[in-house]
């Protein structure tokens, strides 16, 4: 499967797990079968645009957010996307802790 399908699937998984939902819960809310959700998340299936729309509505996120920076080309974009993927897989509390750590590092560097 393409890298784009894998990245999209990972993003869906990140948003789902951040909400504390199982694949079954997302399937129920989106109207998709739970095995299909699993296949999309693993990058085994190319999701239809209709399925992506159903999933994004269930997750209460825009389709634009799911596709944001998908297919980054240069190294800078790749690092940004990897960081985005890492950060989006964390809970809001973990994101705030990581943000505070980064701000402290930045402040320390300026001293």
Q: Is 35 helix (H, G, I), strand (E, B) or coil?
A: helix
pLDDT of residue 4: 85
Which domains, and CATH codes, for the chain? 3-110 (1.10.260.40)
pLDDT in tens, 60-94: 999 998 888 776 655 556 677 778 778 877 888 88
pLDDT in tens, 13-61: 989 988 999 999 999 999 999 999 999 999 999 999 999 999 999 999 9
SS (H, E, C) 75-110: HHHHHHHHHHHHHHCCCHHHHHHHHHHHHHHHHHHH
């Amino acid at each position: 499967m393409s890298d784009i399908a894998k990245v999209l699937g990972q993003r869906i998984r990140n948003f789902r797990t951040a909400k504390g939902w199982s694949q079954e819960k997302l399937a129920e809310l989106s109207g998709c079968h739970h095995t299909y959700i699993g296949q999309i998340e693993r990058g085994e299936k190319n999701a239809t645009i209709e399925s992506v729309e159903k999933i994004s509505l269930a997750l209460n996120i825009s389709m634009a957010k799911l596709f944001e920076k998908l297919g980054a080309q240069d190294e800078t974009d790749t690092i940004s996307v990897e960081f985005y993927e890492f950060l989006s897989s964390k809970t809001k509390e973990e994101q705030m802790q990581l943000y505070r750590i980064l701000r402290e590092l930045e402040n320390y560097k300026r001293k």
